[in-house]
Amino acid sequence: MTSPQSPQFPASSPENISAAVDETVRAVRARVSAAPQVGVVLGSGLGAFADSLTDLVKIPFGELPHLPSSKVVGHEGNLCFGTVGSVPVVCMQGRVHYYEGHSMAACVHGVRTMARLGVTSVLLTNAAGGLDPTWMPGDLMLIDDHLNLVGTNPLIGPNDAALGPRFPDMTKAYDPAIRDALLAVAKEANIEMRSGVYAWLSGPTYETPAEIRMMRLLGAHAVGMSTVPEVIALRHMGVRVGALSCITNLAAGITGQPLDHKEVEETARARRPELLRLLGGWIERVGAA
């Protein structure tokens, strides 16, 4: 798949990936001297968190080499630097999705750049459909594990040992200490939190009811179109990962109502205050640790 507007580079050449990440890092360094400790990826409707950073510096993805800008409504597409308390942070305000036609390498280039900039932990957020009929739109889910149902992987191609090992372990892909920290922050803030398995499908169609029934049988609790490639690329580079889903809707066929991106955005936006509190609280804990 190719996209006419976006810079593409092959997913397969190891020199290309490392060199491309270094090029992006150099372009960042020319604009900002920050040394971020943690990274955050802001999904649909959650970009506002980046605007709350102290000493904010915002770089549009399109102004950095190898970072295609996302065209999805609700995804702004900026790399943002700043602090929360005393903790230096880098945020992706929006992300690049596989269904937009970008290569896997392009989809994970932002998080690889964060890792090269020195972050040791990244928290990813997304909007997702809920598979449990007893859940409600607006529920928040901590991701415990994932199912990659897309049949591709950002690490396909010759391995670049400068990034990580050929066969990365995914046993504890979602860092237990980050999960515990997020649960503690949620408890303190009186925010109810579910947890479960996130299934990645490519989109851009929402799923069919039959696909949703299949995923329930497979043990998934939520379904979405992002996050998993980024988790894989970050684990490859040894970065600790946590991930949160905002369950913006019940998945296809559960309520009988058609799914609508506007509803997804509105629900994510309505839960923004809680999500922002969780992100801020988590970052402060990381800083205190």
Task: Using CB under 6 A, list all residues that contact ligand HPA.
Answer: 127-129, 206-207, 223-225, 248-249, 251, 259, 264
- Taking the least distance from each CB to ligand HPA, the nearer of 181 and 220 is 220
As measured in angstroms, the least distance from the Cβ of 264 to ligand HPA is 4
* Residue whose structure tokens are 């459909």: 129
The answer to whether the Cα torsion of 43, 45, 51, 54 is positive or negative is negative
- Beta carbons within 8 Å of 74's beta carbon, 6+ residues apart: 44, 45, 47, 94, 261, 264, 265, 268
As measured in angstroms, the least distance from the Cβ of 250 to ligand HPA is 8
Buried b / exposed e over 172-204, threshold 16 CB at 10 Å, is ebbbeebbebbeebbeeeebebbbbbbbbbebe
* Residue whose structure tokens are 């503690």: 184
Do 226 and 43 form a contact (C-beta atoms < 8 A)? yes
As measured in angstroms, the least distance from the Cβ of 263 to ligand HPA is 9
- Taking the least distance from each CB to ligand HPA, the nearer of 11 and 259 is 259
**Closest chain position to ligand HPA (CB):** 129
As measured in angstroms, the least distance from the Cβ of 28 to ligand HPA is 29
- Taking the least distance from each CB to ligand HPA, the nearer of 160 and 207 is 207
- Taking the least distance from each CB to ligand HPA, the nearer of 251 and 283 is 251
Phi-psi region of 219 (alpha: psi -120 to 50; beta: other; left: phi over 0): left
As measured in angstroms, the least distance from the Cβ of 259 to ligand HPA is 6
- Taking the least distance from each CB to ligand HPA, the nearer of 237 and 259 is 259
